[in-house]
Amino acid sequence: MNESPDITGAPHSVPEALLAAPSIVHARFSLGDVVKHRLLDFRGVVFDIDPVFANTEEWYEAIPESIRPSKEQPFYHLLAENAESSYVAYVSQQNLVADRSDEPVEHPALDGLFDGFAEGRYTLRREHRH
């Protein structure tokens, strides 16, 4: 334990685990945001966010080590599209950028989760809001 002054200036003990805690990474994107992959040719709508990696180890290990992202960052579930198809993607924050095209995404599952598209983003249906 380290000694650190409290609000009154008196010393108190701070657990080592708190001093060594990793910095908190905040999600850059929100539900309904349209994003695109910074390396691959696809874009999508955020429909869920994991604060840190929450997929299988097998999935993670399948990513080439030279481009494998850190697990300690938000990962986004996307209703994604490319020129050939629509699908669900799981992408690290470091590999996403905002899509400023103001073009809607064409994905068959959009209507089940979102009401509409305006100003470059989708609005979550009322029944899916917390």
Give pLDDT tens digits for 90-118: 999 999 999 999 999 999 999 999 999 99
Residue 105 lies in a domain: yes
| pLDDT beyond 50 at 19 | no
pLDDT of residue 7: 46
Contacts of 111 (CB under 8 A, 6+ apart): none
| pLDDT beyond 70 at 2 | no
Distance from the first to the final alpha carbon of the chain: 40
Residue 84 lies in a domain: yes
Average pLDDT score over residue span 12-39: 75
Residue 2 lies in a domain: no
pLDDT of residue 8: 47
Identify the three-state secondary structure at position 13.
strand
Q: Which structural domain, as residue segments, surrounds residue 89?
A: 25-128
Identify the three-state secondary structure at position 33.
strand
Average pLDDT score over residue span 59-88: 96
Residue 1 lies in a domain: no
Residue 20 lies in a domain: no
Give residue for tokens 């080439």. Answer: 64
**How far is Cα 70 from Cα 53, in angstroms, rounded to an integer?**
8
Residue 89 lies in a domain: yes
DSSP letter at 64 equals -
Residue of 84, 76, 85 whose CA lies nearest to 36: 76
Q: Find out whether 97 and 35 touch, Cβ atoms under 8 Å.
A: yes
Give residue for tokens 């979550």. Answer: 124
Contacts of 5 (CB under 8 A, 6+ apart): 11, 12
pLDDT of residue 126: 85
Total domains in the fold of the chain: 1
DSSP letter at 20 equals T
